[in-house]
Amino acid sequence: MGKTLFDKIWEKHVVKHIPDGPDVLYIDRHLVHEVTSPQAFSALKAKGLKVFRPEKTFATCDHNVPTLGQDKPIADESSRRAVEQLAANTAENGITYFPLGDPGNGIVHVIGPEQGIVLCGQTVVCGDSHTATHGAFGNIAFGIGTSEVEMVMATQCLMQSKPGQVRITVNGRLAPDVTPKDVILYIISKLGTDGCTGCFVEYAGEVFSDMSMEGRMTVCNMSIEMGAKGGMVAPDETTFEYVAGRRFAPSGKELEEKIACWKTLKTDADAIFDKEYVFDAADIRPMVTYGTNPGMGVAVDGTIPDSAAGCDAATFDKALSYMGFRKGEPMTGKPVDYVFVGSCTNGRIEDFRAFAKAVGGRRKAEGVTVWLVPGSKEVERKIEEEGIGDALRAAGFQIRQPGCSACLAMNADKIPAGKYAVSTSNRNFEGRQGYGARTILAGPLVAAEAAVTGRIGIGKQ
C-alpha cells in the first residue's frame, strides 16, 4: 500500500517509536510569541536548562501589541510586560527575535513563510492552534500547549500519537468572486466544526493546485475550525517559487538539492485515507457566517438555514439569538458596524490587493469603522510600495500597524458589545472579538463591499 504525504514526512521525523504508545517526533521549526512562551521559559529556567537548539526557534510579538503608536511604550501594563519578557527570554537563550518595528516583525504565522523560516517537508510547531497555516508548504504543522512548548525547547522533540488522515478534493474552476477564504468556509459549512476532529487533512485537486501560496495558507489556517489537527498541501512549483530568495531560505545549489527532495513529497496513487471528501468548485459562492462557530456559514446571497452540520438544535438557536438573526432571513443587505481586514488568515499582501481592487475607487461608508491591519512589516511595506496605501487613504481608510489586532480580544482593537463586525479572521465565537461582539467571518471581497456600503453583499468582480 502506498504512503500519503503525511506518512512520508512523519516517518522521516520519528526519533523513537514507543510500542503501544506515541512516537518521539523531531521538530524542525519552533515558532514562539509572547502569549504561550513565558511559562515554558520559566519552567526551563527553574530546571537549570536553556533552549537546546535555539537556531531552530524563532520568535515575534503579535497578540498583545497595539496597531497604532508602536514606536511608543505599550500602554497596557500586562501586554507591555509580556512583550518585554519575550525580549528578555529570547536574548537569554540566543533565539532570533523580531521585536516591534523590526522589518521582520509581524504575526507569527505570516512571518514564518515570509522570511523563509518555514520550508517544505518539515515538522513545525507553535503554542498557537493556527500553526496549521504552515501546512500549505507540505509540512506537518500543528499547535501545542505550554508544557509541550517547554518540551520542544528542552529537547527539540515531542511525543505524539500518529493521527488519522483525511483528504479533501476540490476540482473545477472557482468563479472570479470566490476567494480561498470562501473555499474553506464552504468546506467547513458542509463538514461542521467536528468534521475532521483530531485528523490531518490533505487538500487536493485542481482548486488547490491553481491556488497561490497565500491562498493555500488561508485554507490550511482554518483546518482547525473543522476540528482537524492540521492541514496540508503537497509542495509544487508554486511552492518552490515562493520559497526562493527569502531571507532564511536556502539558495543556489543547496536550494536545488532541497527542491529535488521536496518534489518527492506527494501522496502515492494507491495510498488510503481514513476519510475522503470531494467537492465541486462550481458549487462555491462567496461565503459569510451567520452564527457563533465557523461551520455556521452560507453563501452571501443565501438565507439563514434551519440547521448547521454538527450543530444541535439548542446550540443553533442560541447562536442565532446571540447574533440577533432569524432562520430564513437573507444575509445580503444586513448592516454592519465594523470591518476588520487582517489576521494570520487574511493579513497578507494578496488580501490587501484584493480588498483595494474591490473598493475600486469608492469611499468608505459613513458610520462604519474599518481596521486594515497588515499581517507583518513586510506586508505593510508592500502596501505602500504598490500604492495601495495611498489609494485606500484617499478613499477614507486608515492602514494600521502589524499585529493580531481584532482577531481576538487581547489588545486594544476590540469590537463593542452588540456591534456587528465583518472580519477576515478565523473565529466567530461569542466574545472572540470583544465581550458581546457579533462576528461575521468573510473573505476580503465581502469585507470590501461592507466597508464601502455598510452592508453585507458582494460587488461585481
User: Do 61 and 149 have their domain in common?
Assistant: yes
- For the chain, the average pLDDT equals 97
User: Do 307 and 266 have their domain in common?
Assistant: no
Q: What pLDDT, on the 0 to 100 scale, is given for residue 424?
A: 98
pLDDT at 461 over 70: no
User: Do 137 and 14 have their domain in common?
Assistant: yes
| Diameter of the chain measured on Cα atoms | 64
Domain assignment present for 58? yes
Domain assignment present for 100? yes
User: Do 347 and 426 have their domain in common?
Assistant: yes
Q: Domain ends where: 160, 186, 218? A: 160
User: Do 136 and 213 have their domain in common?
Assistant: no
Q: What pLDDT, on the 0 to 100 scale, is given for residue 459?
A: 81
- pTM to 2 decimal places: 0.97
User: Do 353 and 374 have their domain in common?
Assistant: yes
Question: Domain containing 381 — which CATH number?
Answer: 3.30.499.10
User: Do 340 and 430 have their domain in common?
Assistant: yes
Domain assignment present for 252? no
User: Do 299 and 413 have their domain in common?
Assistant: yes
The tally of domains found in the chain comes to 3
Phi-psi label, residue 245: left if phi above 0, alpha if psi -120 to 50, beta otherwise = left
User: Do 171 and 143 have their domain in common?
Assistant: no
Domain assignment present for 244? no
Question: Domain containing 191 — which CATH number?
Answer: 3.40.1060.10
Q: What pLDDT, on the 0 to 100 scale, is given for residue 1?
A: 85
Q: What pLDDT, on the 0 to 100 scale, is given for residue 222?
A: 98
Mean pLDDT of 259-269: 98
Length of the chain: 461
Domain assignment present for 88? yes
pLDDT (tens digit, 9 = 90+) per residue, 78-95?
Answer: 999 999 999 999 999 999
Domain assignment present for 49? yes
Domain assignment present for 180? yes
pLDDT (tens digit, 9 = 90+) per residue, 133-185?
Answer: 999 999 999 999 999 999 999 999 999 999 999 999 999 999 999 999 999 99
Mean pLDDT of 49-76: 96
Mean pLDDT of 418-423: 98
Q: Print the domain residue range for 61.
A: 5-160
Q: What pLDDT, on the 0 to 100 scale, is given for residue 460?
A: 67
User: Do 182 and 50 have their domain in common?
Assistant: no
User: Do 410 and 328 have their domain in common?
Assistant: yes
Q: Domain ends where: 131, 160, 189? A: 160
